[in-house]
Amino acid sequence: MEYGRPAAQFMAQDVATLADPYMGKKITVQGVVKGRDFTDPDDAVLILEHGIFCHFGKFARMAQAYADGETVWVDGFLVQCQPGKIVIRPAHGRDPTAHFEPLRPTP
């Protein structure tokens, strides 16, 4: 899924409060893996901290490659942004060495 550069980048803890203006746009999130959901064979989900659900679709192997507790970077389109239920679809893993400059809350 290469649809150009992300419109914004976020730390997982900041997505719910900062990402709403980026609804429908490609974003990058850095977060810690909390689990996975493979109940739908056509929609593998990688679950990050702070209720971030990254839908990898049929790319279950990509989602399976990450271990619980691992810090990951995910690119994808933000389709829902509520505290505890943030959805990125479609999503895919991002190279951890790629440029990453997350938006931060203002003090």
Mean pLDDT of all residues in the chain?
Answer: 94
For 8-53, how does the pLDDT look when each residue is reduced to its tens digit (9 = 90+)? 999 999 999 999 999 999 999 999 999 999 999 899 999 999 999 9
Q: Could you give the 3-state DSSP secondary structure of residue 90?
A: strand
pTM of the shown model: 0.93
Domain positions in the chain are: 8-93
Fold of 8-93: OB fold (Dihydrolipoamide Acetyltransferase, E2P) (2.40.50)
Contact predicate 76/92, CB 8 Å = yes
The closest of 78, 74, 99, 62 to 26, measured between CA atoms, is 78
Say how far residue 56 (Cα) sits from the centre of its chain.
10
